Chains A and B, each alone.
Chain A
Amino acid sequence: MATTDIEELGRLIAALPPTPEGWVRAAQELPQVRRGLDDLLARAEADTALRERLLADLESTLADAGIEPTRHVLADVRERLRSP
């Protein structure tokens, strides 16, 4: 049952401090990033040169495709490139 005690309300507001902005933004951009990656990886399936570029210089190739190569994006793509 939710409290209506003033002091307790203050304590409960304090219980949820803000999340670092960059974390929230990265999670919010997930759908767009996923779609960009799906498109890029689909093209790399058919385009050997693109696939080789991805494997040789992942960060730049992602950046060129308009995808910010964050740590989590890089880990995701590496995983997907490894899988058959």
Chain B
Amino acid sequence: MGGPEPTDAALVARCRAGDDSAWAQLVERFSRYVFAICSQGFRLSRHDAEDVFQDVFARAYEHLPKLRNDDAIRPWLAQLTRRLCIDRLRDLTREAPADELDPDAMDELIENLDEALTVREALARIGEPCGDMLDRFFARDQSYRTIGEELDLPAGTIASRISRCLEKLKGAMEDSEALVSPEVG
């Protein structure tokens, strides 16, 4: 792969300059996040979640040039997704769905997803095969057997490999924590 992942701000700047590959990377980076807000937060049907998902990225593409703070793309996308999900529910129910949604619970979910996105960034940093293996086991819910077959590894070794990869991920998270809090230690 090569090279560190670009920051959100760098990616947004490249998108604004018309770099299609940066746009593809930005969609890849935030697709699960947007999808999770639609499906876990608002429990939209697959059809409605897809509509909102495409709408979020279409609007993001249009409004990227006007974004005031490139670093704030993540909260901006979260807010946009939240608003479009509420609009969709309103269209579906023809009444105010906000009454049924607990804003505190939604804030908590988005906070959790923010943290999950930070873990994904660390997952990208630890490289392959660990990133892929952990994603397959935890996010894609694949069995040891399936992972072994697809990665051409003995199924009996998958559990220990996952355990080692988790330790590696933990180390990567601690390294990024240390960078954020250099005064510690």
Contacts and interface: CB of A to CB of B under 8 A. Distances in A.
Interface residues of B, number: 44
Contacts of B58: 27, 30, 72, 76
Contacts of A2: 115, 118-119, 122, 173, 176-177
Contact of B116 (A15, A23, A24, A28): A15
Question: Is chain B's binding surface mostly helix, strand, loop or mixed?
Answer: helix
A22 to B, nearest CB: 9
A2 B169 CA distance: 12
Interface string B26-45: 01100111111000100000
* Chain A interface size range: 20 to 34
A78 interface: no
Question: Is chain A's binding surface mostly helix, strand, loop or mixed?
Answer: helix
Nearest to A5: B170
A19 B35 CA distance: 6
Interface of B: 18, 20, 23-24, 27-28, 31-36, 40, 50-51, 53-54, 57-58, 61, 112-113, 115-120, 122-123, 134-135, 138-141, 166-167, 169-170, 173-174, 176-177
Given A2-B122, A30-B58, A72-B54, 18 more contacts: A2-B119, A2-B173, A2-B177, A3-B119, A12-B115, A13-B123, A14-B141, A15-B36, A15-B112, A15-B113, A16-B113, A16-B116, A17-B140, A24-B28, A27-B31, A28-B23, A28-B24, A28-B28
